[in-house]
Structure 1
């Protein structure tokens, strides 16, 4: 083989390598397929056992089925829901991180906490789907058989009682503060990192009274371990018609709903948010979801994205005014 032939072959070899590299780079730069094409992460900014967590677990299998990809659940509690909410606000707007939260992170928390690092404008609502009510309760061994007896004791013993909530800035915290203001009670607030810890503290005698979501406390009402005193619902609850409402007692001018909704970060492409919101709308027509919600003590309360955002805006204004009246801003 002569020298000229060898040189010719070696000159063509780098060109061959370059063509291979270009092909590899080209395949790596291809656009992803239609959304979704890999696992979606649902971020719940509360601890397991909270109403938002219970609600998300009801729809999670259906979402995975409809979207055709795995849907994982990640609890990121802290700051009354602020920690997990902020994480999704700053997530890439690609639809692969979805916030499943209660309305309090957009209504009560902004009205009571200073220097929040997010706002509703950082999100695109996908719709609300279930709701819960907060309940103020005591242990069954408690001497207080009803709200009137509890209030009478608290008035006669200022500063001697404490109460627990799932955290500062939650609907349950707000409800108990309303009750304190209305009756002029001196009761110390003990914030916990979730409703599960609250109910355990109540059962073990660490707390005299607590406020938490009905979905969390309902099993203990049914077992007779806890006694409900009052709820934030607008009307009597069908399963618990003996629980009076703060609304009927004149304690609150408005019902305090714990609404559950899904959100993605602002800037998410319209076709992606519509794919997710459409899946949620379909899920909320499933009788199995109704049955699961009823068993968990939650109400089906579906609203489309536009209605969901408008309701949150209205609730935020009303709650902010009440928080200012009660001087609840931290």
Structure 2
């Protein structure tokens, strides 16, 4: 059945109205409509909040017996730094929350071109700092070491590149590392130098290199696209927590994921790279209709469970 499922998903993408290289205002509406057209399950609770001065959306799955979530997923949505919001990624985020028993804090970081680099990274660091601070004890005004072993970072596409950049920035600023990070199809090279930008052009049903290049200019603006804080494939990744990177072979961004994993491995970072054949960008969001998507999220849940246990043992 998976071949039929993959073909059906490919048709959905190819016939969709989204043009990521089009007018941002128009495409934001299209993007939002595509990803929020189906209602979330009734037990998913969305709570807008502000953390570290940045808007966030807390995503939780209601349970019959009230229990403390086993940890927090700090989530960064996709959209090439120009489109999207925590609401557009709430379906995938709530699915991962359900499978892991964790609470999601999805960051509504500022978007380009109105807010180019480093606005998104500044927002990411501000939220992460605030989450660490909230984990500190306040007994008699004395601080204790925060428990980063209960925090994992998750990103989709541009959000995955942002998550990687956040980890590097947090390390450089002396902040505690989270237990782990999950990167779905990371957009991690805004120089667009990966070979797959050309070799996968005929099979990627969602994007073109030209459209991605237009969005890259929006985010980079006057900065250098090879800056490691913009393109983590060029960053020093030493000291980062365990990484799980997932990508499909029908993606222009395939080489972003492969090179980021290689960069991490060369820096002695525990990293698992999972390349799923024949599937498009962010296939995990279609776990309900695609066997490979469900299998990928099973591995995500297993990875997070093992990572949280390892840091707390």
Relative to the length of structure 2, the TM-score reads 0.29
Structure number with the bigger relative contact order (C-alpha 8 A, sep ≥ 6) is 1
As a proportion of its length, which structure holds more helix? Answer: 1
As a proportion of its length, which structure holds more strand? Answer: 1
